[in-house]
Amino acid sequence: MTVDPYLWLEEVTGDDAMAWVRERNATTVAELTGNVRFEQMRDEIRAVFDADDRIPYVRRRGEYLYNYWQDSTNPRGLWRRTTLERYRQADPEWQVILDLDALAEREGENWVWDGATVLRPEYRKALVSLSRGGADATVIREFDIETREFVTGGYELPEAKCWLRWIDADLVYVGTDFGPGSLTASGYPRIVKEWRRGTPLDEATTVFEGKPEDVSVSAVHDRTPGFERSFVTRNIEFYRAERFFRTPAELVRIDVPEDAETDVEREWLLIELRTPWTVGGTTYPAGALLAARFDDFIAGERDLTVLFTPDAHSSLGSHSWTRDHLILDILRDVQTHLEVLTQATGWTRAPLPGVPAGQLSGIIGTNPDVDNEYLLNSSGYTEPATLRRGVFTDEPEILKQAPGFFDTDGIEVRQLFATSKDGTRIPYFVVGSGEPRDRPTLLSGYGGFEISLTPSYLGHVGRGWLARGGTYVVANLRGGGEYGPEWHSQAVKANRHLVYEDFAAVAADLVAGGITTPARLGIQGGSNGGLLMGVMLTRYPELFGAIVSQVPLLDMRRYHELLAGASWMAEYGDPREPEEWAYIEPFSPYHNVQAGQQVPPTLFVTSTRDDRVHPAHARKMVARMLEQGHDVRYYENIEGGHGAAADNEQLAFKWALVFEFLWRTLS
């Protein structure tokens, strides 16, 4: 393909492009909606998302627990708070801080909540981020939590891919579009400035400048009493960064490998390695977690303590600080194990008490400034979530339990392993009734950016798929993080083919094991997983009966020129370099779909407001497939951002559309 005939579809809101979108949407909606099954699934899935008795997950800020809540009455949502004592009740009393539906109506905007950064320790002022239609670009405004009003004359940024971070009540770090040359090639801030209250933004003082080819820059101030510090980060590539400690006189580089992750909490510096590191005559392996005293490390000492070392079956998922402890979330063959580390004369470790066996558990909140409180969430493919609160003195108490949204009688969960083309064992989970076999089966995967797919309760999948007799499968491919950074690094750039071989191996194993047949095997993935679906369509179409690709990358020749695409070249490679395009091209779906090729029925779903992965990837792929006579359909939600849905109604419609297509095709 030397000339791209569909470049005009890259004009996101161009008249011709949007006319094409509306025509495709109308065709897909007419085909897949308006029948009893679609309407039942849409309503049942909407009931899951809107359920009054689902867990209102909270984040502690001072004496209050804050929650963002959406339901049928409040589709855009309420930012609200309550106390722990009230939260323990079956029906807590909430104080509404900000009603986004009322704000959107008052201002005539399609606001979508994008979070709030609250100034500690007073917890009165917040920097609220609002997105139009769910895009990554946001408007940021200062908000007074006690008066429930935006601050007149307070901090405010116009719409951009931007950020604000508190230093104190009258000073912030800011990164935004300051004008020509202030953004990176990926469209993110390139310059960190310090902005004082009451002064114009154009008078903010420059603290640091990255390079145009960097991914982004950022800054943060730690207000922990006695340990107040500022840090600046220059993100060179997706997995490489320079990190600096800001002193009154200079920026001091934290001397760790560029691909390592760091975390500073009180006196401690944690270093998580992505590749081996030799320092002080010792080589530490990829995936290890190291600890050092921060001030000593900055002064040049390299007294490092190993807190975690991976092995062939385990990796570090995450870590969380409380006031006196460090909790490690460890994955062993994609099953979670939580350990508590405590530092006295040395680091000691013990299992975290009260963690249920056979479920995915993780720490979703701590309060390290004040105490040893932690919030532990646990769920599984067939086990609704349970939220517990612990403080290490006793077994954690159960705060909330989510309802079950589908009948799990007879539904089994099994972990199996497929053998990929190069002999690597690839784990996958099968969720469904044991008999009879040969059921419609939905296989999902991602395989990228070191993201792990772990077991969790999915009410919409349960109602739309499992409860109707389908089998659900999740593949843990290389490129993810299930076995640590090397599981990911094996499958980047020139070795990207391993991701696709892994997924094909799982598909073949499902058939060989008698779980399903190719005609009844559907696949679904989004974003990088949407690219995975495109590769399956063009390279392994005989393995599948239906394909759903959501918010996908597909044109790998131009992905680096579309929105945030330039930031992902560390994952896929640089198509501008001939030697790299040589290994990218075979897996660029847009360049490999051919007329006359037998491909399964396919559905592409994306969003006009996705300003991360350009909707033109899906638009152009569908246009080419229609030109070639393939069985393809398309739906583009006008709102929704990278999630392709801005509220629960849109989310339920999208999933009902997906399931209706799969049931119709695979049955």
Does 54 map to a domain? no
Does 600 map to a domain? yes
Whole-number Å distance between alpha carbons of 231 and 89: 40
Q: What is the pTM of this model?
A: 0.93
CA distances 113 to 99, 134, 550, 605, Å, are 10, 8, 22, 22
Beta carbons of 447 and 499 less than 8 angstroms apart: yes
Tell me, yes or no, whether 486 and 627 share the same domain: yes
Whole-number Å distance between alpha carbons of 442 and 198: 55
Does 470 map to a domain? yes
Tell me, yes or no, whether 501 and 633 share the same domain: yes
Does 320 map to a domain? no
Tell me, yes or no, whether 507 and 650 share the same domain: yes
Domain encompassing residue 290 = 259-310
CATH of the domain at 442: 3.40.50.1820
Residue 456 annotated to the active site: no
Whole-number Å distance between alpha carbons of 566 and 560: 4
- Determine the pLDDT at residue 440: 97
Tell me, yes or no, whether 305 and 422 share the same domain: no
Does 448 map to a domain? yes
Name the domain boundary from 310, 343, 373.
310
Tell me, yes or no, whether 299 and 415 share the same domain: no
Tell me, yes or no, whether 431 and 302 share the same domain: no
Beta carbons of 451 and 481 less than 8 angstroms apart: yes
State the Rg of the chain over Cα: 25
Reference 54, options 458, 328, 419, 411; nearest CA is: 458
- Determine the pLDDT at residue 641: 78
How many structural domains compose the chain? 2
Residue 285 DSSP code: P
Q: One-letter amino acid identity for 182?
A: S
Name the domain boundary from 267, 293, 310.
310
Tell me, yes or no, whether 278 and 413 share the same domain: no
Reference 317, options 429, 486, 451, 416; nearest CA is: 451
Q: One-letter amino acid identity for 579?
A: E
Reference 487, options 420, 414, 576; nearest CA is: 420
Does 599 map to a domain? yes
Distant-in-sequence, close-in-space partners of 392: CB < 8 Å, separation ≥ 6? 322, 325, 340, 372
Residue 560 annotated to the active site: no
Q: One-letter amino acid identity for 69?
A: W
Look up tokens 């152009």; give the residue: 620
Whole-number Å distance between alpha carbons of 135 and 563: 12
Tell me, yes or no, whether 427 and 303 share the same domain: no
- Determine the pLDDT at residue 1: 53
In the chain, which residues have pLDDT < 70?
1, 436
Name the domain boundary from 272, 293, 310.
310
Reference 352, options 392, 308, 398, 387; nearest CA is: 392
Of the residues 325, 488, 591, 642, only one is catalytic, namely: 642
Tell me, yes or no, whether 457 and 603 share the same domain: yes
Whole-number Å distance between alpha carbons of 310 and 488: 14
Count of other CB atoms within 10 angstroms of residue 578:
8
Of the residues 218, 489, 527, 607, only one is catalytic, namely: 527
Does 550 map to a domain? yes
Tell me, yes or no, whether 304 and 434 share the same domain: no
Does 384 map to a domain? no
184-211: b or e for each residue (b if 16 or more CB lie within 10 Å)? bbbbbbbbbbbbeeeeeeeebeebbebe
Length of the chain: 667
- Determine the pLDDT at residue 574: 97
